[in-house]
Amino acid sequence: MRSISAILILGIFFLFSLQTTFSSNPNEVFILDLNDVTINPVTADYLIHGIDQAQKEDADCLIVKLDTPGGLLDSTHKIVKKILSSKVPIVVYISPSGARAGSAGVFITYASHIAAMAPSTNIGAAHPVELGWKNPLEKGFKKIDQPPKESKDEEGEKDISEDDPMKSKILNDTVAFIKAIAQKRKRNVEWAVKSVTQSDSITEIEALEKGVIELIAKDEKDLLDQLDGKTVEINGNAVTLHTKDALIKRMDMDFHQKFFNTLANPNIAYIFLILGFYGLLYEITHPGFGIPGIAGGIMLILSFFSMQLLPTNYAAVALIFLAVVLFIAEAKVAGMGFLTAGGLVSMILGSMLLFDSPIPMMRVSVSLVAGLSITTAAITIFLVRAVVRSHQRKVLSGKEELIGEEGVVYSETVSEKGGKVFVHGEIWNARAEEKIKKDEKIKVVALKDLSMKVKRI
């Protein structure tokens, strides 16, 4: 009996242990990595999807590891709106050491529930870049590319002004945007405005002192330890974070996000544009292959897609196509090199201005522009001249080769009534507008069916 009782007790204890094990639900912390990327529609989709997934799985919080030079204002608006309405606490961690949250990164950091920075990082220069070029009169045109001018009104208060009224309107709208975020998250409003109007940038120590961030964490573990027990407000309710022993769940970009984010690189977009031109040019100059034309078309479509993800200057696109026209014109007419020079200048200018952004990471590399521009000029001239010369070259086979050939009269005479001539080792029927006697030299001027029209030499 005692042995049976002991077994029952052990069984109950084992079942209780299993129940405790399965009922325990460790807190989950989601981590998204925006390391050395620009803020564009692809990264916005990645971040928004991550927030949705964290909310769906009821995560304790979501940490965004941020290192960005900035990006597009439209994408920034979408990310900020999603963070402000999130039901899961969002922590923006500017890391690793040497990272920065520039331009659009300032807005994202300010929108977070808790902002943290690693040692030797910086934040500031909040000048978002609008997606592509738009008419300044159209609604939604927002691009700040230069620090604004400040003046003081009669009462001594600073007043934001611009030489261009539209830029002033844009600036005021952006300042209002960052002020609204700062006030909601109870962060330093004055510095937020200064980061937009004066392109101010500060270190992590200054950011902590000024109330821009809440934490300085040396690494991810240190961040989780410091976050544990912190309280944030979600929809009017206080939520306490439990991150010390939380289960870490990292969410990387999926394949299509990585692919399209690669296309958002201006150098990749530029290379696709030039390669697309190469493919179509080869197809035009060497008809019948098909593959170069198809590949070129695909490259051009991919480059156009990339341009939708970047602040594209379409006047620069026009300059590049003008360069192509000038290269082709040089190959067909005697331009004495002036057309080539004009095409080269147009290609370089168009390439340098293709992506209108103050952020170096969102512009085409100068060395890439120089190399591809010179190569494009050389290849274009070589291919098109080869085609022109092939059309101008004398035909060496078929009936057409006989035109212009010389021979002698084989019959007694050749006249309008007919006769025979000896040309190219063969005897041909022939006629001539004048009477030509035997053995006189003739030249073939036309060929119809098996009869030649000749004239005396």
Q: Is-catalytic flag, 103? A: yes
Length of the chain equals 457
Which helix (H) or strand (E) covers residue 331, if one does? helix 314-332
> Peptide bond before 165: cis, by omega within 30 degrees of 0?
no
Give dist(CA 351, CA 320) in Å, integer. 7
Give dist(CA 195, CA 202) in Å, integer. 9
Out of 103, 199, 303, 357, pick the active-site residue.
103
Reading the block at residue 409, the tokens are 């009269």
* Residue that the structure tokens 């060395």 belong to: 367
Angle value at C-alpha 425, between 419 and 430, nearest 5 degrees = 20
Q: Is-catalytic flag, 365? A: no
The Cβ-side half-sphere exposure at 19, using a 13 Å CA radius, reads 6
* Residue that the structure tokens 């040692």 belong to: 119
274-311 burial, b at 16+ Cβ within 10 Å, e below that, comes to bbbbbbbbbbebeeeeeebbebbeebbebbeebbebbb
Strands annotated E in 213-270? 215-216, 231-234, 237-240, 247-251
Q: Would you list the DSSP string of 166-200?
A: HHHHHHHHHHHHHHHHHHHHT--HHHHHHHHHS--
Helix (H, G, I), strand (E, B) or coil at 94: strand
Conformational region of residue 144, where left means phi above 0, alpha means psi within -120 to 50, and beta covers everything else:
beta
In the chain, helix, strand, coil percent, each to 5?
45, 20, 30
Could you give the strand order of the β-sheet that contains 100-102, starting from the edge strand earlier in sequence? 100-102, 122-124, 201-203
Q: What phi and psi values does residue 203 have, to the nearest 5 degrees?
A: -85, 175
Positions marked active-site? 103, 149
